[in-house]
Amino acid sequence: MNTTLLHAEGLRKEYKLPRGQTLRALDNISLEIMPGEVLGLVGESGCGKSTLGRCLLRLTELSSGTITFDGCDISSLNERAMRPLRRQMQMVFQDSYASLNPRRRIGDLIAEPLRVHPDNNGKKRSSSTIEARLAELTELVGLSTSALSRYPHEFSGGQRQRINIARALALSPQLIVADEPVSALDVSIQAQIINLFTDLKERLGLTYIFIAHDLAVVRQISTRVAVMYLGAIVEQGETDAILHTPAHPYTAALIAAVPEPVIRKNASRTLLRGDVPSPVSPPSGCRFHTRCPKAQADCAIVVPDLRPLPDGRVVACHFPLVNDP
Partner 1 sequence: MPDDLPLLEVRDLSVSFRSRGRDVPIVENVSFSVDRQEILGIVGESGSGKSVTAMAIMGLIDAPGVKITGSALFRGQELVGLSQRSFRHLRGREISMIFQDPMTAFTPVYTIGWQIDEQIRVHEAISRTGARARTVQLLGDMGVPDPERTANRYPHQLSGGLRQRAMIAMALSCNPSLLIADEPTTALDVTVQAQILDLLRNLRHNYGSSVLLITHDMGVVAETCDRVMVLYSGRVAERGPAEAVFRQPGHPYTGALLDSIPPLTGPRPERLPSIAGAPPPPLERPSGCAFAPRCHYVHESCMILPSLIAYGTQDVACVLPAEGHPLPPRAAGAA
Contact flag: residue 71 with partner 1 (CB under 8 A): no
Give dist(CA 91, CA 288) in Å, integer: 30
Q: Of 84 and 205, which has the nearer Cβ to partner 1? A: 205
Q: Of 195 and 284, which has the nearer Cβ to partner 1? A: 195
Give dist(CA 2, CA 25) in Å, integer: 31
Question: Where does 127-231 show beta strands of DSSP type E?
Answer: 175-179, 207-211, 224-229
Name beta bridge partners: 73: 68
Sole window of 146-154, 164-172, 248-256, 280-288 interacting with partner 1 (rule: CB under 8 A): 248-256
Give dist(CA 170, CA 141) in Å, integer: 11
Q: Site for partner 1 (CB under 8 A): how many residues?
A: 45
Cα separation values, 14 from 9, 56, 64, 280, 302, Å: 16, 15, 9, 10, 22
Binds partner 1 by CB under 8 A, chosen from 254, 295, 314, 317? 254
Give dist(CA 82, CA 148) in Å, integer: 30
Contact flag: residue 274 with partner 1 (CB under 8 A): yes
Q: Of 69 and 210, which has the nearer Cβ to partner 1? A: 210
Q: Of 79 and 260, which has the nearer Cβ to partner 1? A: 260
Q: Which of residues 190-219 bind partner 1 (CB under 8 A)?
A: 190-192, 194-195, 198-199, 213, 215-217, 219
Contact flag: residue 225 with partner 1 (CB under 8 A): no
Contact flag: residue 45 with partner 1 (CB under 8 A): yes
Q: Which of residues 150-169 bind partner 1 (CB under 8 A)?
A: 156, 158-159
Contact flag: residue 255 with partner 1 (CB under 8 A): yes
CB 19 to partner 1: min, Å: 16
Q: Of 23 and 82, which has the nearer Cβ to partner 1? A: 23
Name beta bridge partners: 177: 91, 209
Q: What's the number of CA atoms in the CB half-sphere (13 Å) around residue 296?
A: 8
Give dist(CA 102, CA 124) in Å, integer: 26
Binds partner 1 by CB under 8 A, chosen from 111, 276, 286, 316? 276
Contact flag: residue 1 with partner 1 (CB under 8 A): no
Give dist(CA 209, CA 38) in Å, integer: 6
Sole window of 19-27, 56-64, 127-135, 271-279 interacting with partner 1 (rule: CB under 8 A): 271-279
Contact flag: residue 297 with partner 1 (CB under 8 A): no
In the chain, what is the greatest distance between 2 CA atoms, to the nearest angstrom? Answer: 68
Contact flag: residue 128 with partner 1 (CB under 8 A): no
Q: Of 136 and 240, which has the nearer Cβ to partner 1? A: 240
Give dist(CA 97, CA 252) in Å, integer: 34
Give dist(CA 182, CA 6) in Å, integer: 24
Sole window of 28-36, 92-100, 165-173, 237-245 interacting with partner 1 (rule: CB under 8 A): 237-245
Sheet containing strand 6-16, edge to edge, reads 22-33, 6-16, 64-69, 72-73
Residues near partner 1 (CB under 8 A) are 44-45, 156, 158-159, 186-192, 194-195, 198-199, 213, 215-217, 219-220, 240, 243-244, 253-264, 267, 269, 271-276
